[in-house]
Amino acid sequence: MTHAHKIFIRTKKEDSAFVYHILEAQDGLAAYSTIDFEPHDPFRDLELLVPEELEIQLEALLDSFGDMVIRLPDDPSKK
């Protein structure tokens, strides 16, 4: 059985559409969902669910975004 890991990231609101498109283009790499937000929030938080065998590839993709994406230490919706 494959185990999946949750990873939380934050991106600026104006960069979010680009990040969504890149994640979608990496078919099967990770499932993602946008965490609830207020319309005036300047950012969007995403929850990524990645199979453990693809985690290295996802980390490389996240690194390629540079400062466009910030990895969060835990689930921002639980604060």
77 — pLDDT class (breaks 50, 70, 90): confident
Report how far Cα 55 is from the mean position of its chain's Cα atoms. Answer: 12
| pLDDT (average), residues 8-20 | 96
- Rounded Cα distance between 8 and 30, Å, is 12
Domain range enclosing 13:
4-73
What is the percent of the chain where pLDDT is above 90?
A: 82
Question: What pLDDT is attached to residue 79?
Answer: 62
Nearest CA-CA partner of 58 in 22, 10, 14:
22
Considering its fold, how many domains does the chain have in total? 1
34 — pLDDT class (breaks 50, 70, 90): very high
Is residue 79 a part of any domain in this protein? no
Give kind and range of the element (H or E) at residue 63: helix 55-64
Tell me the per-residue pLDDT of 37-69, one tens digit each, with 9 for 90 and over: 999 999 999 999 999 999 999 999 999 999 999
Please report, for the domain that includes residue 38, its CATH number.
3.30.70.120
